[in-house]
Structure 1
Amino acid sequence: MQVSVWDTYVTKKDGSTMHFDIIVQSEVKDTTAIYNYGKIYLESKGQENQPLSAKECSFCHIEAVSPNWEDEINKNGCFIIEMENCK
């Protein structure tokens, strides 16, 4: 499976910047769906209602799926890689 990596930077409620990647199947092109995956993730981190649009989230590249991502992508539609300030 090939996946698309969407590089995402969101300003948290405390003003710091949260950096994470949204990983989806490469066939997924609907940015609304991709942003919604990010919004669900933000809610799980107590960052609901923070802006997430093309300004914060952009396509980065396509790569082969990592085996530890595939089950979650098949189950939930995406995999989130936490990069910075996601705790």
Structure 2
Amino acid sequence: MKVAVWDTYVTKKDGSVMHFDIIAPEEIRDTALIYGYGKEYLKTKAQEGRALTSKECRFCHMETVRPQWEAEIKQKGYFIVEMENCR
């Protein structure tokens, strides 16, 4: 399975910037859906209401799905890779 990687930077409520990737199947091209995935994730981090638009989230590249992502993508439709300041 090929997946799209969406590079995402969101300013948190405390002013720091979280960096995470949204991993979704390559056929999903609707940015509103991708941003929705990001907003769902932000809720789990008590960061609901933060801006998440094309300014914060951009398509980066395609790659082959990694085994540790696949089950969650099949269940939820996406996977989040936490990079920086996601705790």
What is the deviation of 1:59?
0.2
Unaligned runs of 5+ in 1: none
What is the deviation of 1:14?
0.2
One-letter amino acid of the counterpart of residue 51, structure 2: P
Equivalent in the alignment of 1:38:
38
What is the deviation of 1:12?
0.1
Task: State the SS of the aligned residue for 1:23.
Answer: strand
Equivalent in the alignment of 1:16:
16
User: Which string of whole-angstrom CA distances, capped at 9 and with x for unpartnered residues, describes residues 42-67 of structure 1?
Assistant: 00000000000000000000000001
Q: TM-score by structure 1 length? A: 0.99
What is the deviation of 1:4?
0.1
One-letter amino acid of the counterpart of residue 47, structure 1: Q
What is the deviation of 1:13?
0.1
- Give the share of equivalent positions with the same residue, in percent: 63
Equivalent in the alignment of 1:57:
57
Find out whether 1:74 has 2:70 as its counterpart.
Answer: no
Task: State the SS of the aligned residue for 1:15.
Answer: coil
Distance in structure 1 (CA, Å) of the matches to 2:85 and 2:33 = 23
One-letter amino acid of the counterpart of residue 72, structure 2: E
Unaligned runs of 5+ in 2: none
List 4+ stretches of structure 1 deviating above 2 A. Answer: none
Distance in structure 2 (CA, Å) of the matches to 1:44 and 1:68 = 20
Work out the number of aligned pairs and report it: 87
